[in-house]
């Protein structure tokens, strides 16, 4: 597994992390997007990820109201993973809250993580009652108190990211990352200023939904009936967005090219899409695909064994430009 430096920090993490939303135990609003994974299966997915070279995990307070954090930390404990050998990123949920909540809830986050430190604490969305500047200052207080190591944001547009960066810069701290939706079928960060500004500032992009909710696999193009077997909330989102008949037809051009290139590497379309995503812009982009099955974790890891040619990267760039 390749590793690269996270933003302006002094640590290197694997190009792929493991997204842990699916560890929510079907708890709370956000948890309803996933069925409840058993502790055994969760631990197996974490074990496979670690064995494959993944050294960091992305979770959040919102994911099952702490259930994801607990499931992750319990798995790491059962696997006897050293507290300082993995990198954990979590997120503070801002909706209907003020910035002071960042400080008052940090011990809850640490308790849910069972002793594993928070390497990256992120503001989940720019939706709080307080200003971005106040939120960043409370985050900076946590860095100075030794509660967290680095600070990131999530779902921030270009101007919001700049405000966060500037507020932290005044405290002598660099913004490490911005976590945004990004895939070969959703390239808006390349056209709305986020990616270019992140490169300029030295901020890493963490791509969530890097497989477009499974759409890049091609299985829904081959058999649209599979959409109906998804969990109710996820099925609703799929039917309303990329998974409509019109969008399946539109994305088929990209899927067909992914299928064509995947044959050159005895790989899957998803593996090619992941590899392309994290290599298109040098060392700027990380990705956090999730896994609900051990075999999915293996597939994600194996995506990093592919070495796409410059011609293949360019061709995928060309066929997916409609998603800029």
Pairing of strands 12-14, 3-5: antiparallel
308, 279 in Cβ contact below 8 A? yes
Tokens of 113: 């993580």
3-state SS, residue 152: strand
Distance CA 132, CA 119 (A): 21
Q: Which of 226, 178, 235 is nearest to 203 (CA)?
A: 178
Q: Which of 29, 63, 208, 236 is catalytic?
A: 63
Rounded to the nearest 5 percent, the helix, strand and coil shares of the chain are: 50, 15, 35
Rounded to the nearest angstrom, the gap between the alpha carbon of residue 36 and the centroid of all alpha carbons in its chain is 20
63 has catalytic annotation: yes
* Angle, CA 138 vertex, CA 134 and CA 144 arms, to 5°: 140
Buried/exposed 279-316: b ≥16 CB within 10 Å, e otherwise: bbeeebbbbbbbbbeeebbebbbbbbebebeeebeebb
Number of Cα atoms under 13 Å in the Cβ half of residue 170: 11
* Angle, CA 63 vertex, CA 59 and CA 66 arms, to 5°: 85
Distance CA 148, CA 118 (A): 5
Q: Please, which residues have CB within 8 angstroms of residue 89's CB and are 6 or more apart in sequence?
A: 17, 56, 57, 58, 59, 118, 119, 120, 121, 122, 152, 206
The residues carrying an active-site annotation are 63
């Amino acid at each position: 597994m390749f590793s690269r430096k996270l933003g302006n920090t002094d640590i290197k993490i694997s190009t792929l992390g493991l997204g842990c939303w699916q560890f929510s135990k079907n708890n709370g609003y956000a948890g309803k997007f996933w069925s409840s994974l058993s502790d055994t299966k969760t631990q197996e997915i974490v074990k496979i990820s670690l064995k494959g070279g993944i050294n960091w995990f992305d979770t959040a307070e919102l994911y099952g109201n702490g259930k994801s954090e607990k499931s992750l930390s319990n798995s790491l404990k059962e696997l006897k993973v050293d507290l300082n050998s993995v990198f954990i990123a979590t997120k503070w949920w801002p909706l209907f809250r003020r910035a002071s909540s960042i400080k008052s809830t940090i011990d809850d986050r640490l308790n849910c993580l069972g002793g594993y430190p928070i390497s990256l604490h992120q503001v989940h969305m720019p939706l709080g009652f307080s200003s971005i500047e106040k939120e960043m200052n409370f985050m900076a207080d946590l860095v100075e108190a030794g509660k967290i190591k680095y600070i990131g944001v999530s779902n921030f547009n270009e101007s919001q990211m700049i405000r966060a960066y500037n507020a932290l810069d005044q405290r002598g701290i660099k913004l490490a990352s911005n976590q945004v939706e990004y895939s070969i079928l959703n390239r808006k960060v390349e056209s709305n200023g986020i990616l270019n500004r992140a490169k300029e500032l030295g901020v890493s992009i963490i791509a969530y939904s890097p497989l477009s909710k499974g759409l890049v696999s091609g299985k829904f193009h081959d058999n649209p009936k599979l959409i109906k077997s998804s969990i109710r909330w996820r099925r609703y989102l799929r039917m309303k967005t990329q998974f409509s008949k019109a969008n399946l037809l539109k994305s088929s051009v990209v899927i067909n090219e992914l299928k064509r290139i995947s044959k050159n590497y005895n790989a899957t379309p998803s593996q090619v899409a992941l590899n392309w995503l994290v290599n298109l812009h040098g060392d700027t982009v990380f990705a956090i695909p999730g896994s609900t099955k051990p075999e999915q974790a293996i597939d994600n890891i194996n995506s990093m064994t592919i070495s796409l040619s410059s011609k293949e990267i360019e061709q995928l760039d060309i066929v997916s430009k409609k998603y800029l």
